[in-house]
Amino acid sequence: MNRRDFFRTAGMGGVAGTVAASMPQILNAEGGSSIPVTFPKGKVEHCIHIWLGGGAAHIDTWDPKAMGDAKATKKKAGSYYKAIDTAVPGVQVCEHLSRCAGLMDRMTAVRTVNHDVIDEHAAAVNRMHTGRPVSGTTVYPSLGSVVAHERGAAAEDVPAYVVIGYPSSSRAPGFLGSKAGFLYLLDTDSGPEGFKRPDGITLNRHLRRSDLLKKMRAGAVAKRGKAVVGEYDAAIEESLRLSGEKFMKVFDLKNEDANLRESFGGEFGQRCLLARRLIQRGVRFIEVAHNLNFVNGTGWDTHNQGQLNQHVLIEELDRALSTMILDLEKHKLLDKTLIVVNTEFGRPAAFDGGGGRGHQSTAFSVLLAGGGLNHKGAYGVTDDLAKKVVENPVSVPDLFATIHASMGINPAKELSDGDRPVPITDMGKPIEALLT
């Protein structure tokens, strides 16, 4: 009898009922969840996860404060850019987010996200992709993998989960296995090139190879059993589907109006346009990385001189994100699609010796857009230096619970790592104000 069966049996009568009454607290302390099965359910069908690798400065984007001075001898802490008003009264953003400012009624900057990882990028990236600290015993699945596992693809012959950017272990399926993994795209033009038949291989030669492969697979099944080669067979079949003409058409962006393509901007904008096309084809979860470090020299990791040209990155994000929102709205997909603009941590108000910013995880911003949410422009309040949470703190599990709930996924549901139950979120509670 396992622990849970014992408590369940003990709760059926007698003095043992006293022990059973404390079961939720005991299970919670042991790593289980006391969140009720009922939760505010959204109607989101797709998620586009925009990743700002390096740690975007919230005080210079979605949570502006009084102006600082990075150039003075005695540097003054504060925002690097001026704040501007938005479509939501009382909510301001950075001046370089001028296009998004007019659309803040379709967005919410969750300004009080926080965790305890400060000086290690890889660990913070993992936290913001899996919702949990790195563990020596469990390899937790990423947000995208959980969505792929729970919802699957929205159409046949397409992957449930696509990554356009970093193919790191933080994006991986962990204990959920390869079926919840992602299709990795190098760029917006070629698509999954690795699945295509090489130009030098004729169709007849390809068919002979396929026939030989079938015989080898049959021999492996006879010797080792179908279960051993089952995942391999599934991967082969999926690669053949994805290399087909039907799915590959998604990557022909020239089918889109030239003015629309131009309005999205450069490579990052084209990735965002591709994300919409992938959604239309039935992909459930897409991560789009904004990792074009050459634009300002450092990407979003704005130590020292990287701060000077941070506005170039912000303007590029502003252009692509605002165009994406309007484009999804035009195609009647905005309410069905949740856009999450995420990063590993924020940046402090104080400037470092080179005029840039260090790392900060005590409070930073994650933007949610679309998804039929009850948008407020901003949620949560930080102090005058955007360092401490003053009102409505949001843990990473709470953020993940909100995303899952918006997609109709119970954030307290237990997955299985072997014989170990693992809740989808680490006791996260959805932000009800955005979902009701």
332-358 average pLDDT score:
95
Residue ranges of domains in the chain = 32-191+267-435
Q: Identify whether the C-beta of residue 368 lies closer than 8 Å to the C-beta of residue 42.
A: no
CA-CA distance, 311 to 180, in Å (whole number)? 36
Reported as a single tens digit per residue, the pLDDT across 304-313 is 878 889 999 9
pLDDT band at 6 (very low <50, low <70, confident <90, very high): low
Q: Which residues contact 10 (CB under 8 A, 6 or more apart)?
A: 16, 17, 19, 20
Q: Distance of CA 180 to CAs 45, 160, 166, 231, Å?
A: 17, 8, 17, 12
Alpha-carbon distance 129 to 178, whole Å?
17
pLDDT in tens, 221-253: 777 776 656 666 665 566 556 656 677 888 889
The single-letter code of the amino acid at 366 is V
Say if residue 13 is exposed, middle or buried (CB neighbours under 10 Å; 0-12, 13-18, 19+).
Answer: exposed
CATH architecture entry for 32-191+267-435: 3-Layer(aba) Sandwich (3.40)
Whether 214 shows a pLDDT value over 80: the answer reads no
Q: pLDDT tens across 247-301, in order?
A: 788 888 999 999 999 999 999 999 999 999 999 999 999 999 997 767 788 899 9
| Spatial contact of 142 and 132, defined as CB atoms under 8 Å apart | no
Is 117 a residue whose pLDDT tops 90?
yes
- The answer to whether residue 69 scores a pLDDT higher than 50 is yes
pLDDT at residue 233, rounded to an integer:
65
- Does residue 51 have a pLDDT over 70? yes
**With 50 as the cut, is the pLDDT of residue 359 above it?**
yes
Which residues pair with residue 420 across a beta bridge?
Answer: 417
SS3 of residue 4 by DSSP: helix
Percent of the chain at pLDDT exceeding 90: 64
Computed over every residue of the chain, the mean pLDDT equals 87
Report which of 142, 144, 399, 131 is spatially closest to residue 287, judged by C-alpha positions: 144
pLDDT at 242: 65
Position 15 scores a pLDDT of 43
Q: How far apart are CA 273 and CA 58, in angstroms?
A: 25
- The confidence score (pLDDT) of residue 219 equals 79
Cα angle for residues 387, 391, 394 (degrees, 5° grid): 80
